């Protein structure tokens, strides 16, 4: 392993951790404000990355990053627990909770872009790190908006469906991991 790859990993990992934790916290806070305190009662409304990380998702992240020489990485955090039946309107609640995660990544991307603009002459390394944070959060927001269960985009699409169709749409979540795995394989295999 080269020292450049190790340095890249040391820079990317904290940026990714903050981005993933902010994403999951946004889901939890949105759910709490809509009437579901499940994430709070399970101590998941925390900036502590240990509470948010999925062991497999973290391992896949490390393996894909180091295995690709830093050109590609993929991983995931542990989803925040949500109890949609606690919302006044479960369909609308899940749509808003689903939108909160990508919205957090968009906000981080905008803040990072402003930071790049403010630091690019005085502190080029800081500007480069902020540019990376911008790119990571744009990618996280974009991928999570895909309307594929269990991604957030499926929650948003579900919010616009008629009630009976929404129930069937949400039922697809039990196949979500398989569907998501096919999506990732297609994404990696694409030229």
Q: Annotated catalytic, 121?
A: no
With beta carbons less than 8 A apart as the criterion, state whether 95 and 163 touch: no
Catalytic residue among 21, 24, 105, 169: 24
Say how many CA atoms lie within 13 Å of 50 toward its Cβ. Answer: 0
CA 128/CA 120 separation, integer angstroms: 8
- String of DSSP letters for 102-145: HHHHHHHHHHHHHHHHHHTTT-HHHHHHHHHHHHHHHHHHHHHT
With beta carbons less than 8 A apart as the criterion, state whether 18 and 25 touch: no
With beta carbons less than 8 A apart as the criterion, state whether 116 and 130 touch: yes
Hey, which residues are catalytic here? Answer: 24
């Amino acid at each position: 392993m080269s020292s450049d790859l190790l340095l890249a990993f040391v820079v990317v990992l904290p940026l990714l951790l903050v981005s993933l934790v902010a994403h999951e916290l946004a889901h939890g806070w949105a759910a709490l404000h809509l009437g579901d305190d499940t994430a709070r009662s399970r101590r998941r409304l925390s900036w502590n990355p240990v509470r948010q990380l999925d062991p497999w998702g973290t391992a896949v992240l490390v393996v894909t990053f180091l295995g690709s020489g830093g050109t590609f990485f993929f991983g995931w955090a542990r989803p925040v627990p949500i109890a949609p039946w606690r919302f006044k309107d479960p369909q609308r609640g899940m749509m808003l909770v689903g939108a909160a995660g990508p919205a957090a990544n968009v906000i981080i991307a905008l803040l990072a872009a402003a930071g790049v603009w403010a630091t690019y002459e005085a502190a080029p390394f800081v500007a480069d790190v902020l540019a990376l944070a911008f790119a990571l959060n744009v990618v996280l927001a974009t991928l999570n908006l895909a309307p594929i269960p269990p991604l957030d985009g499926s929650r948003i699409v579900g919010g616009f469906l008629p009630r009976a169709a929404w129930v069937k749409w949400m039922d697809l979540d039990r196949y979500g991991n398989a569907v998501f795995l096919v999506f990732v394989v297609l994404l990696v295999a694409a030229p």
